[in-house]
Amino acid sequence: MILAAIIVLLIGVCVWGMYGQLDTKLQTGGICEDGKLTCYVSEADFGKVQAGMTVAVGEKEYTVSSVAKAPVRLDGSTDAYLIHLAGLAEGDWAYAVVVDAPDLQNGTYSVSVIIERVRPLDFVLG
């Protein structure tokens, strides 16, 4: 009985190792207007984000279409909740990251930029 449980556990770990994924994420905020999600990342995190990376909003995933070359200043006209979600403060400089999200409703969202995605098995195999 115990041997069967150990075998089932090992099979489960192997399946997770092959098909599971571990993500390194950058948490930020974004505002969607007419199918364009604009996220803001700090100057410190700017170098980690590139066009073509995956962005997650809830369970949905999208692809970064462009990253601004110059920062913008987040002032009083910027949504305060967006600034909070991005972990920034009013007056901070941030880079805009644009994502095509045609099925996303207009609004402010918590966004995860997936910096790296690896299979758990890759850690074992090196």
CA angle 51-70-29, nearest 5°? 60
Q: How many domains does the chain have?
A: 1
Asked whether residue 8 is assigned to any structural domain, the reply reads no
Domain of residue 36, residue span: 23-117
Asked whether residue 32 is assigned to any structural domain, the reply reads yes
Per-residue tens of pLDDT for the chain, all 126 residues? 888 888 889 888 878 877 878 888 999 999 999 999 999 999 999 999 999 999 999 999 999 999 999 999 999 889 999 999 999 999 999 999 999 999 999 999 999 999 988 887 777 776
Asked whether residue 12 is assigned to any structural domain, the reply reads no
pLDDT for the residue numbered 126: 67
Asked whether residue 112 is assigned to any structural domain, the reply reads yes
Please state, in angstroms and rounded to a whole number, the distance separating the CA atoms of residues 49 and 71. 13
Asked whether residue 80 is assigned to any structural domain, the reply reads yes
Asked whether residue 87 is assigned to any structural domain, the reply reads yes
Asked whether residue 57 is assigned to any structural domain, the reply reads yes
Asked whether residue 5 is assigned to any structural domain, the reply reads no
pLDDT for the residue numbered 117: 84
Q: In this structure, what CATH number is given to the domain that contains residue 28?
A: 2.40.30.170
pLDDT for the residue numbered 122: 76
DSSP the chain: -HHHHHHHHHHHHHHHHHH--EEEEEEEEEEEETTEEEEEEETTTGGG--TT-EEEETTEEEEEEEE-SS-EE--TTS-HHHHHHTT--TT-EEEEEEEE-TTSPSEEEEEEEEEEEE-HHHHHH-
pLDDT for the residue numbered 94: 96
